[in-house]
Structure 1
């Protein structure tokens, strides 16, 4: 088990204290809001050159300007809409040179049933397929220098395995939380299979649970719905809420800790490797199905075939 000495209350800036990322280039998807901003701030403070990949360019520019002024780092902005494969391809095509750190942070949560132009369910399309295509599109830049890929997952993965028989809800009743859950399970399984496929490429990939943080990610939920989810989870104690600074800390552990050098396929929470989830607990721990090597290999195959189908169309 990987234990770091950090914990629930640790902030992103505390994680990178003493870390030197000078000369390293990073991309943070969704870096213009929520924990993405704090992730960018911490990486820039440590000396990295950071690109904010965001749907809202104006919001990205405002964040970049403010953080560049406070950190003295070079921070740029590029458009990226993960629900659009054309946008993902354009971002990867326009990237030039090596990439040392890719933080797959952006996402959508508990949306009403929405389909992309391809007919894909929006949460899976954005949270997994978008990041899958982006990472593969940037593969040569990641491989050139050796790199870390960090996938921001969630305890919501405990709500659902990836339902391969009907990922996009073509035949089963849509449940927005299960849909979110399977997309977050996919974030973890992606790293499990990448660890096997890319072991000799100098690229590592790990996933994490940032914690419960009040951000724009919850924009589709009422406060009552949030409280209902906690109660329905079977939790026996009040769920503690992190600040965005604390929420980004586990991302920075995955991105910078020497304990994860050369390591793939891990799932972290509260800045340490997560333990197996206990039955009935939907708030903490790692589901066994999210570590299944068989499911991880199947997910990779299905994801590639899904993306290939666009080229054949």
Structure 2
């Protein structure tokens, strides 16, 4: 009597609408769209941070450069997601929600996801280099760091936080390198520790929701909830401190009249407080969902952006 596995394999070969990896021909395009995670593309809008801080976001050349940076990061990040999902498929199958990802669910083959992921990452580097060599170098650094992450650093405590945070930082840097803007040390420090705050909050939420022994992310077994709380609390404090120093000592701070940069501290801190409340509840596992769904956070952020732009223009 043939085994169950053999019977399933024969049945799959006899079905004309089935592709390798278990995806139907009708479902394959939809599976690929899900696999590149377009819902996470909004985080690439961080490329606008440098033009905003410099007050040049409405400059056509600067804005075009930022849009190019946004596009190449969408391509590169999608490639990283595919490669990461291919390597993490066994662990993702144990996760309550990640098990539905196309690669983990068998809708896309592991080999196909790996090949397409690598191609997308290389394509992003080439396009970025053609546009501007500094942007190409930024994208190359991003791809190299992400490759190291999926290659094993993601399982190392502290290092995984630093690497994921660097992805957000490089997005912020790319907005400047794509447009020829000079990035201030204040800007880089705020971006660095702000990114660490978000990433540590994400890990804290995963720890709260799944526990260290869930088996879905090995690095969680090397953390404690108290350690992750310490990291995101420390990062939030440093972020506020550095931003305050920039607001009081940056461009326009010595000019007469209202210091709009200093006024922007209030909505900036309120944004962090609002987001920290979500982290504290353990619901910050998907930062992009919070930004897209929290209307109050969006309104506060809009007020902050308006103050920063006004301050940069008048400074």
TM-score, normalised via structure 1 length: 0.29
Structure with the higher helix share, 1 or 2: 2
Structure showing greater radius of gyration is: 2
TM-score, normalised via structure 2 length: 0.29
Structure with the higher strand share, 1 or 2: 1
Query: Taking CA–CA contacts closer than 8 Å with sequence separation of 6 or more, which of the two structures ends up with the larger relative contact order?
Result: 1
